[in-house]
Structure 1
Amino acid sequence: MKKLSIIGMPMDLGQMRRGVDMGPSAIRYAGINERLVRLFHSIEDMGDITIGRPEVTIDKESNLRNLELIAEKSELLANVVNKIVESGSFPLVLGGDHSIAIGTLAGVSRHYQNIGVIWYDAHGDLNTAETSPSGNIHGMPLAASLGLGHKLLTNVGGYCPKVKPENIVIIGARALDEGEKILIKNKGIKVYTMHEIDRLGMTKVIEEAIGYLKERTDGVHLSLDLDSLDPHDAPGVGTPVTGGISYRESHLAMEMLAEASIITSAEFVEVNPILDERNKTAALAVALMGSLFGEKLL
C-alpha cells in the first residue's frame, strides 16, 4: 500500500477528433477515487494540466499538427510527474490522446536506469514525421520516447532517449503502419500482436512480458490505450480497431501485473466520452485500474 497521485492531461492536440480532452472528467465521473481509495494509504487528485483552447497549427517543415503546443504541454506534464515520483507517490495520468505519453515518460524515466514500458495498444505509436500517414502526434509518442522524430518531441524533459528499444513490450497490436513494422524489426522491439494473444493466450503473454522485463528493467511504466480493447467493450475511443483484446483478458492482464508488483507508473488514454455509450469506456478504464492496483474478487 502506498500513495497515489492522479493528474489529468485533457489534451486532444495529437489527433483530429474532438472529445478526448474530456477523458479525465469522464474517468473521474466513473468513480476512480471511490474505486481506488481502499487500495492506497492516500490518494491525491492534483486536478488537470491546463491546456486551454489553442488554435490548430501545422508545422511547415515537418507537417506535424500542433507540434510546438504538444511539446510545451508535455513539458508541463513531465514536471508534474517528476515531482510526483520524487515525493514517493505512484503517478497515474489520465488522458487525453496518446501523445501525452511523451510528457509522462519524460517525467518518469529520469528516475530509473532502465525503465521498461508496456505499451498496451492496438497501435505501435512508432511513427515519425517521415513515416506518419496523418501527421498526428498521437501516433508518435513511443518513437519520440526512443529518441526518434522531431527534436521538440524527443527532447521533452531535457534529455533523450527516455527508453531503450529492448525494454519495450507492445501488447495488443493489430494496426501497424509500414514504417512502424520496419522500425520494430530493425530495433528488435518485442511485440505481442492479436495473433500471439489468440495463439498463446493472455496468461502466457503476460507471463512472458513480466519475465522479459524483470530481467532488464528497474521499473515499468504501463501506457494503456483503451483502443487496445475490442470496440464492443470500449466504444468510446477515437481510433477503434475491430478484433481487439477482450474485457476479461484485460482484467487478467492487469491482475497478473498487480501480482508481479512491477508497475511503477501508469497512464490510461484515449477515452472519448462523445463517442462512448453511457460512459462505458471510462467505467471500463476505472475497473481496469482497480485490477492493476490489486483489487480482488475474493
Structure 2
Amino acid sequence: MNHNINIIEFPSNLGLKEPEPGVEPGVRNLPDWLRENGFYDLLKPQHIYTLEPPQYSMKMDEDAGVRNSEAIIGYAKQQAELLDKVFDEGPFPVILGGDCSIIMGSAMALKKKGNYGLFYLDGHTDFMLPELSQTGGLAGMDLAVVTGHGHPKLTDINGLKPYFKEENVWSVGNREYEVDYVAPILESDIHYFDLEDLQDKGTERCTNEFLQMVEDNNLDGFFIHVDADVLDDIIMPAVDSRAKDGLTYAELNHILEKLLASEKAVGIEITILDPDLDPTAEYTKEFIANLGKCILDARKYPDM
C-alpha cells in the first residue's frame, strides 16, 4: 500500500440547478474552502492537481434531458485523461468536487483500466432518469448514468458503457423513500441499503458484504463516493438538497475506516458540501476532522 496522498480538484457545479435565479451553486468553491480550513494541511498531499471546469450555465439539452450535458461530457473526458495518470502514480487519490457529476471522469478512467466496484454513499439514490427529474441536473442522475441508464451521449462516452456494472455497486444511505423515486434502483441489480436498512442491519455487515463482493467478483479494485448530504442534517446542513435524518459521524467513520484500509480501495471523492451555506465553517471543520482522520488512519505507515 502506498501511504502517500494526492489531492485532485474538480470544482464543477455543472450538475446542479441555480439555487436562485442568476446565482451559481457554491460547491465550485469546495476545494478552496477545504484548503482554507485545514484539510490540505492535515493530509499533506504529495501532489495537488486542479482541472478548471467549463463555465456554468442552465442550458438544457432537450435530447438528453440534462442540463449542461455537452460541458459535462467535455469536462469528464478531461478528468478521465488526468486521472489515467493519477491512478497509476501510486499515492492515494482524494478527489474534491464540486457536485456529484464529477463521478463521470472517475468512472471513465477506471473503466479504461479494468473492472471496478463502487461504494456510493449519498443521502439520495441519484438513480433517477431524466423524465422523473424536476431539475434536469445530472447530480441527481449520476449513479444511473455511470451504470448505463440515460442518453448514450452520457452513458457511452468513448464506447465505455457501462462505466460500473450494477452488480458491483453499493448504494448506501438514501433517505428519500417515495415509492416512485426508489422504484428504479430497486429494479436494478445495484445492492441498495437505504438509511433505515443500513441502521437496521449495521454498517459492519454492509461494508463486509461489499468487500466480500469485491473479492468474489475478482474486481481490480473499488472507488468510494461520499456526498456530504449522507450525513444527518443536524450535523451537515450545508448541502443543496436537505432532508431530515442521516448518518452520524460514528457510522460514516466506521464505514470509511473499513473501506479505506483495503488495498483494493483506489480512490475517494467528496462532493456537495457548499461553502456558501456554512459561512462560519462550523460544519466544515467537523467534517474535515472526521474525514481527515479516517483517511490518515487508513493510509498510515505501520510504524506510525
Q: With structure 1 as the length reference, what TM-score do the two structures score?
A: 0.89
Could you tell me how far 1:222 is from its partner in structure 2? 0.1
Please say if 1:260 is aligned against 2:262: yes
How far apart are the structure 2 equivalents of 1:128 and 1:176?
16
Q: Which amino acid aligns with 1:154?
A: T
Contact 1:74 1:156 in 2 (8 A): no
1:119-164: per-residue Cα shift (whole Å, max 9, x none)?
Answer: 0001111122233232111111111111211222113355221111
Assess, with a 3 A threshold, how the Cα gap between structure 1 residues 205 and 107 changes in structure 2: closer, same or farther: same
Q: Which amino acid aligns with 2:100?
A: H
Residue of structure 2 in register with 1:35 after alignment: 42
Q: Which amino acid aligns with 2:96?
A: L
How far apart are the structure 2 equivalents of 1:107 and 1:57?
26
The partner residue of 2:234 within 218, 232, 246 is 232
Could you tell me how far 1:180 is from its partner in structure 2? 5.2
Contact 1:171 1:193 in 2 (8 A): yes
Contact 1:22 1:273 in 2 (8 A): yes
> Residue 16 of structure 2: SS of its match in structure 1?
coil
The partner residue of 2:79 within 77, 80, 95 is 77
Residue of structure 2 in register with 1:26 after alignment: 33
> Residue 144 of structure 1: SS of its match in structure 2?
helix
Contact 1:102 1:156 in 2 (8 A): no
Assess, with a 3 A threshold, how the Cα gap between structure 1 residues 177 and 158 changes in structure 2: closer, same or farther: farther
Assess, with a 3 A threshold, how the Cα gap between structure 1 residues 52 and 64 changes in structure 2: closer, same or farther: closer
Assess, with a 3 A threshold, how the Cα gap between structure 1 residues 160 and 64 changes in structure 2: closer, same or farther: same
Could you tell me how far 1:67 is from its partner in structure 2? 1.2
> Residue 131 of structure 2: SS of its match in structure 1?
coil
Assess, with a 3 A threshold, how the Cα gap between structure 1 residues 159 and 183 changes in structure 2: closer, same or farther: same
Assess, with a 3 A threshold, how the Cα gap between structure 1 residues 93 and 62 changes in structure 2: closer, same or farther: same
Contact 1:236 1:276 in 2 (8 A): yes
Contact 1:236 1:277 in 2 (8 A): no
Please say if 1:290 is aligned against 2:293: yes
Could you tell me how far 1:273 is from its partner in structure 2? 0.6
Contact 1:172 1:192 in 2 (8 A): yes
Please say if 1:138 is aligned against 2:145: no
Could you tell me how far 1:277 is from its partner in structure 2? 5.1
Worse overlay, 189-198 or 128-137? 128-137
How far apart are the structure 1 equivalents of 2:156 and 2:287?
30
Residue of structure 2 in register with 1:242 after alignment: 244
Could you tell me how far 1:176 is from its partner in structure 2? 5.5
Identity across aligned pairs (percent)?
A: 26
How far apart are the structure 2 equivalents of 1:289 and 1:180?
33
Residue of structure 2 in register with 1:59 after alignment: 61
Could you tell me how far 1:57 is from its partner in structure 2? 0.9
1:176-211: per-residue Cα shift (whole Å, max 9, x none)?
Answer: 565653332332211111112221222232222222
How far apart are the structure 2 equivalents of 1:90 and 1:157?
26
Q: Which amino acid aligns with 1:256?
A: K
Please say if 1:211 is aligned against 2:229: no
Contact 1:128 1:150 in 2 (8 A): no
Contact 1:33 1:43 in 2 (8 A): no
Q: With structure 2 as the length reference, what TM-score do the two structures score?
A: 0.87
> Residue 187 of structure 1: SS of its match in structure 2?
coil
> Residue 294 of structure 1: SS of its match in structure 2?
helix
> Residue 46 of structure 2: SS of its match in structure 1?
strand
Residue of structure 2 in register with 1:45 after alignment: 48
Assess, with a 3 A threshold, how the Cα gap between structure 1 residues 5 and 202 changes in structure 2: closer, same or farther: same
Worse overlay, 145-154 or 254-263? 254-263
1:229-283: per-residue Cα shift (whole Å, max 9, x none)?
Answer: 0111112111122110011111111112233333111100001011125224433
How far apart are the structure 2 equivalents of 1:23 and 1:159?
29
Contact 1:271 1:281 in 2 (8 A): no
Could you tell me how far 1:168 is from its partner in structure 2? 0.4
Residue of structure 2 in register with 1:182 after alignment: 183
How far apart are the structure 1 equivalents of 2:286 and 2:159?
35
How far apart are the structure 2 equivalents of 1:70 and 1:177?
28
> What are structure 2's unaligned runs of at least 5 residues?
20-24
Residue of structure 1 in register with 2:22 after alignment: none
Could you tell me how far 1:219 is from its partner in structure 2? 0.4
How far apart are the structure 2 equivalents of 1:177 and 1:9?
32
Q: Which amino acid aligns with 2:105?
A: G
